Amino acid sequence: MKKHIIISLTCCFLTSISNISAEIKLSDTFSIKGDARTGYFSKSREDRNTSVNSTDEFRLRLRIGLETKLSEQWYAKARWAGRYSTDEKNENNYEFFESVPSTDGLRAGDSTIDEIYIGFKPSEQWKVKLGRMQTKFELDGVAKKSLSRNDSPNTDITWTDGLYAIYKGNNGWNLHTIIQYNSDEGASAVRRKPLNFSETGSRLTYYTGIENKRKLGPIVQRGFDISYLPDSLRKDGTASGEIESYWAIVGRMAAAWPIGKKQTKFLIGLELGYAPNTPTEASKSIGASDNTDGFAGQVTFNLVNFVPKHSVGLVIGRAGAGYLISPDFRENTNLLELRYKWAIDKKQKIEARIRRREDIDQVTNSLQKREDTDFYLRYTRKF
């Protein structure tokens, strides 16, 4: 019964907003903006103990926000977000979260306030936000992914608590700086074990990066960033063991070339990440003596607008067992993904994905490597 209720509410909601082409303007200073994402999701897993299981579900993520312009320089926003599923084992009650309770954010059935901040824009070059917000730095492509920051991808719900400052240079280079607060219960963004934020020194973590998306010949994106998480790495995975700081450097670049006389173009992107200080193999159950692999990377090949509004992209990626901060790449995993996108208009899109993920190193005492194959067909509507 609950499955039918969720599906019915989803259809009613999408029907009610189908004719909305812009945000709902309440007055000259207040407006409502949001989005709905729904679709069919399927996953099959060949697990490490040789068992095979699969799940099929319909999901809905709904986000509704209120924006206000306080003056020419000051603005504010608050947004509610909820995540729901027809898979009955994923049903939870409403709770306000300071940290994310699962590896990809809120569990299905949970809701929260994923944005509540005040912004200050003293000039065209400077912008500052303080509070709870969404941050992301993705590699360009049809299937945009990140090795450093990407709040709320797919139907996930995560967020950044803290201060975010942006400086836009006249030469196209933009400087981004984030000081993020972490609850002692855990981070509000994806941070993988044995990262832990119970230490006082781990309350604040830091991100700084520069990026340029101004076209330079075939190059359409280039950027570099550093993430620093002090006193957050439990080296051997235990509370009584050595605690160290964790940091990672990431570089990304994308280039595009036109094909024919139409808007079709071929885009290739590359992103590489490295974490010098990683947990032990024993903490990740893949060995006994060495530190884990701190390298991560992705390369993406895209055919954009192969017919008008239709694009396809291929992503090949991996993250070593010691690379712990990517929201899109699970540690100790190779990834292969094919993505299709139909950009109906500026407010609507339909996407389909088939993805395969496999363990890089076999887990100790397991019978085989874990292999996941998943598929989705989803629809996104902004309003």
Task: State the Cα–Cα distance between residues 362 and 91, nearest whole angstrom.
Answer: 32
CB 325 within 8 A of CB 180: no
- 50's torsion region: left (phi>0), alpha (psi -120 to 50) or beta? left
What is the structure's pLDDT at 100? 77
pTM: 0.91
Question: What is the dihedral sign for C-alpha 101, 176, 174, 271?
Answer: negative
Task: State the Cα–Cα distance between residues 23 and 261, nearest whole angstrom.
Answer: 35
What is the structure's pLDDT at 26? 65
What is the structure's pLDDT at 98? 66
As for how many domains the chain has, the answer is 1
Task: State the Cα–Cα distance between residues 246 and 99, nearest whole angstrom.
Answer: 19
Task: State the Cα–Cα distance between residues 264 and 306, nearest whole angstrom.
Answer: 5
The pair of structure tokens assigned to 59 is: 């999901």
CB 21 within 8 A of CB 361: no
Element holding 16 (H helix, E strand)? helix 2-16
Domain that holds residue 229: 2-382
Which residues, in sequence order, are bridge partners of residue 317? 298, 335
Mean pLDDT by 10 residues, the chain (383 residues): 50 50 68 96 97 96 96 96 81 62 81 96 96 97 97 95 97 97 90 94 97 97 98 93 96 96 92 97 90 97 96 98 97 98 96 98 96 98 94
Residue 5 sits at the vertex; the CA angle it makes with 3 and 11, to the nearest 5 degrees, is 105
What is the structure's pLDDT at 107? 86
| CATH code for the domain in which residue 320 is found | 2.40.160.10
The pair of structure tokens assigned to 312 is: 């396809």
CB 87 within 8 A of CB 67: no
What is the C-alpha R_g of the chain?
21
